[in-house]
Amino acid sequence: MKIKFLFIVIVSSLMIEPVHSYGSDITDNNQYIELVNVWKVFLKAISTNDLKEIRNLSAERIRCLFCLDNTEEEEREIENFKTTEPDWYEKLYDDKVYIPISKFCKQDLPIIFTKKFIKKLLDSKPAFAVEDFNGKRIYEVIITTSKPGELFPGHEGGQQLFQFIKINSVLKFWGIDTIP
């Protein structure tokens, strides 16, 4: 009975497609150093609110899902978009999620990067990872921003991901995301 069960488990696991992990450690030391250095410069620009430097360190468009509805007006716009656009999901993730850097700096950066949040980033020890996403190599800085149970009992905790891509061989800030 145990052998039959084991056989079923093994065969079943071979039939399941591989699960993509969110990111893996950077094994190339030069890439690691490059990401650590760009993170330090980016974090300094954020902490001093140096918008010119933030723009210089960033891609033309920033991938930011929660930037789409971080105000009541934007929430209403997204709800309307979902009800009126037949392909809303695809359009949301293929287009709307990419925010022009000028709009990001003007509207979203002050909402996301509060003094309290910046202090948390400055006081935290980041992890660094890399992953492939839609044909892009994404370099990630991962910071735990809330521990399990910190926000409320039973909360699983959270992490913030700051994503960078290479543009003309230079790492540029490209996205911000959360886990979960």
Rounded to two decimals, what is the model's pTM? 0.82
Q: Residues 18, 20, 25, 28: what is their CA dihedral angle, to the nearest 10 degrees?
A: 80
Average pLDDT over residues 121-132: 95
Residue 132 pLDDT greater than 50, yes or no: yes
Q: Is residue 51 part of a domain?
A: yes
CATH number at residue 53: 3.10.450
Question: Following DSSP, what letter does each residue of the chain receive, concatenated?
Answer: -HHHHHHHHHHHHHHSPPPPPS-EE---HHHHHHHHHHHHHHHHHHHTT-HHHHHHTEEEEEE-GGGTTSSHHHHHHHHHHHHH-TTHHHHIIIIITEEEHHHIIIIIHHHHS-HHHHHHHHHS--EEEEEEETTEEEEEEEEEEE-TTSSSTT---EEEEEEEEEETTEEEEEEEEEE-
Q: Look at residue 76 and tell me if it is in a domain.
A: yes
Does 15 reside within a domain? no
In-domain check, residue 23? no
Inside any domain, residue 7: no
Asked whether residue 17 is assigned to any structural domain, the reply reads: no
Domain that holds residue 154: 34-179
pLDDT tens digits, residue range 24-60?
777 789 999 999 999 999 999 999 999 999 999 999 9
Is 142 within a domain?
yes
Residue-wise pLDDT for 140-178, tens only, equals: 999 999 888 888 888 898 999 999 999 999 999 999 999
- Name the band, by pLDDT with cuts 50, 70 and 90, for residue 23: low
pLDDT reading at 62 higher than 90: yes
Mean pLDDT of the chain: 87
Residue 24 counted as domain residue? no
Q: Tell me how many domains the chain contains.
A: 1
- In this predicted structure, the answer to whether residue 16 has a pLDDT above a threshold of 50 is no
